[in-house]
Structure 1
């Protein structure tokens, strides 16, 4: 049994590995309120970051004893951040270390940092003053906006995806800004997005190794077509006029037409968010909108399938089926989209 003032409560762990093979581990520790109360003035930093360099991951925790007077406590860990170069080298060593050491956790979010890890973990965040919690809440909101209870981006999910043909896609986080935002006076700046963290795109992992990046659009379509996401916003054109809708996926059904042909049918309900057409919303106009959406989204799905073949990434998991095992590129995928339209607002006719 240890007293609370003997523990360093870890909020976030960031990991990198340099060209010489040295592991650089950043531990972000919550600033204990008991210490704040004893100080003569207010303490602005909600967390402190400790960086240690070690030849192996196993020795990184021991190295913290030279810079920190407390024992690491990871039960409240919010997320892992791994550098892009470490993800491209492979995360098996990281996963094995976390699984073998009882005080580490693999059921928390894992995210790839495109920028240097030191910039991401050293950024003061607004609204949620604790960066690790801020990233976790950002990912939770990201999931809820797609109707996903929990994004499949935990370290456990990466491990479970190792034997499968379908890759795992986890978000990439970036720091938007030129100068470092590690000083607490950042909290006094009203421009919230100027020096902040943002999710942009996704990292594609096959066998727990990053093989490339995808855009937000590809990542989001991946979530929909693989049954993770049930909600998404889409934009399409009718007679040159823009229409924004929120789609709710009622059902995705896969059926084999032949051993070489797979049909994927999507049944969706569109919620009309923005209608820039000048004409009234008649039954005929609704039919035109539905037909145009069906064509547009079918074309997007076909482009997604072509992108997967071009990159040699089995984004639809065809190689995990009996028909597609070891020959997923030979499978012809046919998409069918059926939609219904519902209104979300107070009016169905645009103002004149």
Structure 2
């Protein structure tokens, strides 16, 4: 009997509750972080939730839905701790959704503060990282956005939606960033975000009181890195080619010319890309195999007969040319800046490890620009819409 009671008491001692718990009213819930470089120091901006302004039970007041707290320091840790001089609570990073890096800091290098983020045990690995293009990271987080009260959440949703439906954007998480910075044969690429209009107007609630906000964000281009430094930007065509050749394309639109200033609208509904490599005469060759399925969504040229199999074959060939042109533009730009953002080197390392050991140290500067690329693209147009040829004269 005594033994039984001893076991029960020991079990009760183990159930002492959440010893490390923290109440919500003791924390600042961080949704967005912006990192700038000013006067030789890190300027870190935390966008934190203002719970009383987003509560469903309470009507919003005059305060903004989120607040920005900032700190400076020679290290990220010092900058983060310095903001406690004005912040009433300790920051909590477990719900972080967006991490914005200024273009100035990205050109300087990002390994140091990315490493700092990785060491924080409260951080999850699924938040997105973007580069503030032509503006400070803090300006991005100060922006009032329509529909969504919390701008970081709005930007994260827009990034993920754009990647799935438009293509010139890539929703890269911390996990993927660390993977590309750590693995040889793969350089980092991050989506850029910019402000359209006057950033100062965007800081005011009046920004969302009109049908078209005078100041708004837009994802623009993909930032190409070498090692950990930003060295160039991909334009829209190259960005589309990047998401396609790296097998991150879900859906996008392609316009095929069918007359003077008229274009057939082609919707890509799926795209599957595979890379195969071989070594020929001491140099690698890459075969890019792409299978694309698409639908016709716009037919302004009424003389195009969608019921004719020859017409469909022609449209598939023209779509194939555009897909290949996008990829070729991406590869050409990557070779020009000598940065393998596509991951050819990583694929060579998997398939030809002995050869990779010989060329990995000079891959970006010497071998990658000489790599031959072949394209094997198949395009299948599955649907022409519910009406086929239009009945309108």
Structure 1-normalised TM-score? 0.89
Q: Which deviates further from its counterpart, 195-204 or 229-238?
A: 229-238
Name the CA distance, whole Å, in 2 between partners of 1:255 and 1:137: 34
Contact 1:158 1:208 in 2 (8 A): no
Gap change, CA 1:232 and 1:291, over 3 Å in 2: same
1:278 is aligned to 302
1:89 is aligned to 108
Name the CA distance, whole Å, in 2 between partners of 1:76 and 1:177: 29
Gap change, CA 1:266 and 1:284, over 3 Å in 2: same
2:339 is aligned to 313
SS of aligned partner of 1:161: helix
Name the CA distance, whole Å, in 1 between partners of 2:178 and 2:341: 17
Of 274, 278, 291, the match for 1:267: 291
Runs of 5+ consecutive residues of structure 1 not aligned to the other structure: none
SS of aligned partner of 1:69: coil
1:125 is aligned to 145
2:9 is aligned to none
Gap change, CA 1:238 and 1:261, over 3 Å in 2: farther
Runs of 4+ in 1 over 4 A off after TM superposition: 34-37
1:46 is aligned to 65
| 1:102 is the counterpart of 2:102 | no
| 1:69 is the counterpart of 2:54 | no
Runs of 5+ consecutive residues of structure 2 not aligned to the other structure: 1-20
- The Cα shift of 1:318 comes to 2.1
- The Cα shift of 1:34 comes to 8.3
Number of equivalent positions: 349
- The Cα shift of 1:164 comes to 2.8
- The Cα shift of 1:14 comes to 0.7
SS of aligned partner of 2:77: coil
Higher helix share: 2
1:116 is aligned to 136
2:322 is aligned to 296
| 1:166 is the counterpart of 2:186 | yes
Contact 1:121 1:131 in 2 (8 A): yes
Contact 2:164 2:250 in 1 (8 A): no
Structure 2-normalised TM-score? 0.80
Name the CA distance, whole Å, in 1 between partners of 2:278 and 2:299: 37
Of 317, 321, 331, the match for 2:371: 331
Name the CA distance, whole Å, in 2 between partners of 1:170 and 1:189: 31
| 1:219 is the counterpart of 2:239 | yes
Gap change, CA 1:329 and 1:144, over 3 Å in 2: same
Bigger radius of gyration among the two:
2
Name the CA distance, whole Å, in 2 between partners of 1:302 and 1:62: 47
1:186 is aligned to 207
Name the CA distance, whole Å, in 2 between partners of 1:254 and 1:56: 40
Contact 2:28 2:48 in 1 (8 A): yes
Of 8, 24, 27, the match for 1:7: 27
Name the CA distance, whole Å, in 2 between partners of 1:35 and 1:292: 49
2:195 is aligned to 175
